[in-house]
Amino acid sequence: LFVDQPLGPDATILLDGPAAHYLTGVMRLKPGAPVKLFDDVSGEWLAEVRDVAKRSVTLGISAHLRPREAVPDLWLLAAPIKKGRIDWVAEKSCELGVARLMPVLTQRTIVDRLNLERLRAHMIEAAEQCGRTALPELHEPIKLDAALRDWPAGRALIFADENGGAPFIEAVKPGPAAILIGPEGGFTAEERAAIRALPQAVGVSLGPRILRADTAMAAAVSLWMAAAGD
């Protein structure tokens, strides 16, 4: 279970809201029951239920189980797409091990408001479900031109281009990287030119078929993880 507070030896944790409801209402845990907790900083801890109240539960830490896992240095820059599909992308980014999810606003982005809290909740649920001890960092939405302007010198920008490029696997090099996926309507000619002008950018193909943006994200991240992730 993810807790948004620092964990450490001998810490006492007071949970309320959905987390308390999950432990006592859904799991029906009683005092003495063991619970695994992680805080996205110090790793995973074993805790024990100390006290159950109507709307809260108190836990005491008993042991450190494992440190926060190492996360492959891959960012995913994705243009927001409609609700259910971007939720899915948040969930899969976490499952597949992305270090940072960065929503990028492009000229053809049609979704202009993103509920970051909801996306984070999907990531947390995914991390809990697959036993992770780290969450992807969820970046504030950023305009594509601003992202390109401040692009870090040492990070490759793998631009998924449905108009063709190097086969994905051949374009992956060791080292920090980011994958850029366009919105449902794709990038404009002007945006494509700006992306390709960046020295760190490499245009890649995911095959001859045009994939939906969410499919392209999952395919590209999976391929990168297979080739370079650890």
Q: Does 179 bind ligand SAM (CB under 6 A)?
A: no
Residue from 216, 218, 221, 223 binding ligand SAM (CB under 6 A): 216
- Nearer of residues 128 and 184 to ligand SAM, judged by Cβ: 184
In the complex, the smallest distance separating the C-beta of residue 185 from ligand SAM, rounded to whole angstroms, is: 5
Nearest Cα to 158, choosing from 192, 203, 216, 213?
203
What does the alpha-carbon distance between residue 134 and residue 97 come to, in Å, rounded to a whole number?
A: 9
Q: Euclidean distance between the first and final Cα of the chain, in Å?
A: 24
For ligand SAM (CB under 6 A), the number of binding residues is 18
Q: Which of 2-10, 67-75, 136-144, 205-213 is the region at the interface with ligand SAM (rule: CB under 6 A)?
A: 205-213
Q: Which of 34-42, 119-127, 145-153, 207-215 is the region at the interface with ligand SAM (rule: CB under 6 A)?
A: 207-215
In the complex, the smallest distance separating the C-beta of residue 101 from ligand SAM, rounded to whole angstroms, is: 15
171, 160 contact by CB (below 8 A): no
Q: Does 211 bind ligand SAM (CB under 6 A)?
A: yes
| 7 class by beta-carbon count within 10 Å (0-12 exposed, 13-18 middle, 19+ buried) | buried
Q: Does 167 bind ligand SAM (CB under 6 A)?
A: no
What does the alpha-carbon distance between residue 124 and residue 162 come to, in Å, rounded to a whole number?
A: 31
In the complex, the smallest distance separating the C-beta of residue 175 from ligand SAM, rounded to whole angstroms, is: 21
In the complex, the smallest distance separating the C-beta of residue 77 from ligand SAM, rounded to whole angstroms, is: 10
In the complex, the smallest distance separating the C-beta of residue 80 from ligand SAM, rounded to whole angstroms, is: 12
| 207 class by beta-carbon count within 10 Å (0-12 exposed, 13-18 middle, 19+ buried) | exposed
Within 8 A by CB and 6+ apart from 25, the residues are none
- Nearer of residues 97 and 203 to ligand SAM, judged by Cβ: 203
Residue from 43, 72, 141, 186 binding ligand SAM (CB under 6 A): 186
What does the alpha-carbon distance between residue 48 and residue 25 come to, in Å, rounded to a whole number?
A: 16
135, 124 contact by CB (below 8 A): yes
Q: Does 65 bind ligand SAM (CB under 6 A)?
A: no
Binding region for ligand SAM (CB under 6 A): 160-162, 181-182, 184-187, 205-207, 209-213, 216
